[in-house]
Amino acid sequence: MADISFKVIKGEILGLIGPNGAGKSTLFNCVSGILKPTGGDMHFLAEDKKIRINGYKPEKMTFLGVARTFQNVRLFSALTVLDNVRIGRHCRTKANFFGAVLRTRSQKEEEQKIVEESMTWLKFVGLDKFAFYTAGGLSYGFQRKLEIARSLATDPTLLLLDEPAAGMNPKETRALVEVIHNVSDLGITVILIEHDMKLVMSICKRLVVLDHGTKIAEGGPKEIRQNPKVIEAYLGRGAADA
């Protein structure tokens, strides 16, 4: 990847699009700390301080407030739905081995709070009825939603969604759009990778287009649709000339 820089405004829903292999997921992996960038600088604004995040581990990024979902759902599938979200609370809680074994009062209170907060997030995505189901047994659409609930449980300020609507039927997609709008209403910034153009154009006020690891366009849905560079990236040179 080279020379990608764009601004995200707090609380907005930004779409990140581009043809296959453009580097969208790689960008996510770098920002969330799963991949180490080979060069260049990344900065993240946390608590009004600009922090250089090159080489930060994923758990550190989560602590700073970057949460993400994965292109191919990564749930703890043998655990219950509730446990999945409870694990999401990990980075905001602190009970240790001694708390667990001695069952101190602070540990008990924390556990109670974890369950309550987890249930709030499950209600938020509409999965509270399934709290005690095994996560791997949920339908695909629900698994996607659960992954969003789990990442929201980490109290993020920036949520990275990697193709959240992939493989969903129209009804599930509509429910998902509603969830994404609700997330944005909470003041959480959302960056969205999506191939479903109709979906992207309808929920994102601004879009960034990547191709071959560089940014080729940025702007509102209308501008992007008419941008010759974008058309070229998607359809090839001939289509842009025609």
Partner 1 sequence: MNLTMKHALKYFVLAAALIYPMLSFTNEYVLHVMVLIMVYMVLAMGLNIVPGFCGLLDLGYVGFYGIGAYTAGLLTIHFGLSFWVIIPLAALNGAIWGVLLGAPTLRLTGDYFAIVTFGFSELVVLFLTNEIWLTRGPLGLPGIDPVIIDFSWLSTLINPQWNWYWEFIGPQPYFYLGMFMVAMVYVIMGRMEDSRLGRAWFAIREDSIAASSCGINLLTYKVIGFAISAAIGAVAGAFLARWTMFLSPDMFKFWESFLILCMVVLGGLGNFKGSLVGAAILIALGEVLRIILPALNLPTETRFLAYGLIMVLMMRFKPMGFFPSIATQSQKNPILIKLKKELGSS
Rounded distance between C-alpha atoms, residue 146 and residue 234, angstroms:
32
Rounded distance between C-alpha atoms, residue 221 and residue 140, angstroms:
28
Tokens linked to 234: 């998607």
Torsion sign (Cα): 29, 205, 42, 146: negative
Helices marked H in the chain? 24-31, 58-64, 81-88, 97-102, 105-125, 140-152, 170-185, 197-203, 221-226, 228-235, 237-241
Q: Which is nearer to partner 1, 10 or 90 (CB)?
A: 90
Please state the closest distance from residue 236 (CB atom) to partner 1, in A: 35
Binding residue (CB under 8 A) for partner 1 from 24, 86, 206, 215: 86
Q: Which is nearer to partner 1, 27 or 217 (CB)?
A: 27
Q: Is 8 in the site for partner 1 (CB under 8 A)?
A: no
Rounded distance between C-alpha atoms, residue 192 and residue 21, angstroms:
16
Please state the closest distance from residue 12 (CB atom) to partner 1, in A: 22
Torsion sign (Cα): 60, 5, 14, 239: negative
Binding residue (CB under 8 A) for partner 1 from 57, 174, 225, 237: 57
Tokens linked to 34: 């799963």
Segment contacting partner 1 by CB under 8 A, of 11-19, 146-154, 204-212, 224-232: 146-154
Q: Is 133 in the site for partner 1 (CB under 8 A)?
A: yes
Q: Is 111 in the site for partner 1 (CB under 8 A)?
A: yes
Residue partners of 72: CB distance under 8 A and separation at least 6: none
Segment contacting partner 1 by CB under 8 A, of 83-91, 172-180, 183-191, 221-229: 83-91
Write the CA distances from 73 to 9, 40, 148, integer angstroms.
27, 29, 10
Q: Is 150 in the site for partner 1 (CB under 8 A)?
A: yes
Q: Is 62 in the site for partner 1 (CB under 8 A)?
A: yes
Segment contacting partner 1 by CB under 8 A, of 53-61, 172-180, 190-198, 222-230: 53-61
Q: Which residues bind partner 1 (CB under 8 A)?
A: 32-34, 57-59, 61-63, 67-68, 70, 74-80, 82-83, 86-88, 90-93, 95-97, 99-101, 103, 107, 110-112, 114-115, 119, 128-129, 131-134, 150-151, 154
